[in-house]
Amino acid sequence: MKRLLLPLLALSSLLPAVCVYGSSRPRYGGTVRVLLRDRIMALDPLAEEDHPATRDRLAALSFETLTEVDTQGRVQAGLAATWGSDPLKRQWRFRLRLANFHDGTVLTAADAAASLSKSNPAWKCAAPDRQTLIIDAPSAVQHMEELLASPRYAIVKRELDSAGATVLVGTGPYRLNQWQAGERAQFVVNEDYWGGRAFADAIEFQMGASLREQFLDRQLGANAAADVGIDQVRALEQTNQSVTVSSPGDLLAIMFLQGDAPSRTGRKPVDPRVREALGLSLDRAAINNVLLQRRGAPASGLLPQWLTGYEFLFPGNPNLERARDLRADAAAYVVITPIMLAYDAGDPLARLVADRIALNAREAGIVVQPYGESHVNGRARASINADAVLLRLPLQSVEPSVALAVRAEELGFGEAAPALLGATRPEDLLEVERKLLESRRVIPVAHLPQALWLNSTVHNWQQQPNGPWQLDQLWIEGAR
């Protein structure tokens, strides 16, 4: 897998690694202001959140993982200085570096064990001494170091304040100073950070921001950056704005909520033949070329071609004749009702794609009725009274087995995760992914990148191949 993955990453990571350099040297100080389209309601990596990718970007400033992935897709030491495993890859031992939480207390292996036990209750985490952490997994985990770099496994100390509310404490380069859920977040520099002081004094995020004035003026003003939709990239590039676009790693997919059994909302499952017909009706190339402005990639698999090297083996071209035959076959046995498709009401691009899905489905004789809904991308989607949802799932790892295991769990295939985490060959991953797709419970539509509009005063804004930001080396002109 590594032999296949690394050459692809070496090529794909050239674009998302953002390092804007000027003639001046890095400077300390200043406040970096960032505009976010999404409204984040909680920073806890384990909390329910409608926009997990954006949440994880903010949370990474305060909460660190035992290992990290750099802008080239390589695993680096994080809070763990060294690690190793037994031959079966079931017991892993980590040696923690010396680091302090933001409240001044020392990070111990017991703290890490408590945090990881919440992240994955199936693990048995022990701390034989203050700096040694042992994780016993119920089955083999071939790439534990890549798995632990995922935001879900950030080390978080959870305490109760005098009012009984949970307070989250991390070890990262910045600590949370001000928080208005869904509105604003301010992080200030951690002077005692084990990795050395970050350059900027503070990083502020304005959530739910409208970029109308910035687009009209083609200027970010006092803001250092703004995350933008990929449908807005072309207009910015035409006026020579600095825009970075990550590799297309996010998955846009249709997920059927009922599977093959009636849901607790009372809706009956969509016949598997109709689900297959819907997938065959999609013109993924047109969706990518027109709606995504050729910035994404048509998706026939759960992971992108640049990551696995085998996605092309899954059929993704439309086949209306076969789709109509499947629909007719289903109609001979069941009553076919319109498919209610929920999409993220706050995402204009999701609405356009949902409408195009409905248009394609109509040519196969299938009625799809899209409508906007909240909580589509969060775990609360199970309570939505719809037949299916149009999901956008972030790519959580650049190690294929880890990425597929996490994605399978997010799509309701948690039973496949142990086999994926224990896989050692690309063909093993291919076989598991093929079986997941053959269930017809999920229909891949497109792989999407993440786009960022940068001010010319911003330097060394780094982005990992799958989208997350690394801002500890970020600095801005005009600082002291």
Q: What is the pLDDT of residue 15?
A: 42
Distance (Å, rounded) from C-alpha 351 to C-alpha 286?
A: 15
Pseudo-torsion of CA 373, 374, 379, 383, nearest 10°? -50
The CATH H-level (homologous superfamily) assignment of domain 63-160 is Dipeptide-binding Protein; Domain 1 (3.90.76.10)
The confidence score (pLDDT) of residue 271 equals: 95
> For residue 7, what pLDDT is reported?
42
Q: Residue 193 CA to chain centroid, in angstroms?
A: 26
- Residue spans per domain, the chain: 63-160, 250-448
- Out of 3.30.420.40, 3.30.160.20, 3.10.105.10, 3.40.50.280, select the CATH number for domain 250-448: 3.10.105.10
List the pLDDT tens digit at each of the 480 positions of the chain.
444 444 444 444 434 444 444 446 788 999 999 999 999 999 999 998 889 999 999 999 999 999 998 878 889 999 999 999 999 999 999 999 999 999 999 999 999 999 999 999 999 999 999 999 999 999 999 999 999 999 999 999 998 887 878 899 999 999 999 999 999 999 999 999 999 999 999 999 999 988 888 887 788 989 999 999 998 899 899 989 999 999 999 999 999 997 655 544 566 899 999 999 999 999 999 999 999 999 999 999 999 999 999 999 999 999 999 999 999 999 999 999 999 999 999 899 999 999 999 999 999 999 999 999 988 887 778 788 899 999 999 999 999 999 999 999 999 999 999 999 999 899 999 999 999 999 999 999 999 999 999 999 999 998 887 778 889 899 998 766
Residue 426 Cα distances to 5, 414, 458, angstroms: 10, 20, 40
Read off the pTM: 0.90
Q: Tell the residue number behind the tokens 């763990």, with chain if given.
A: 80
Is 250-448 the same fold as 63-160?
Answer: no
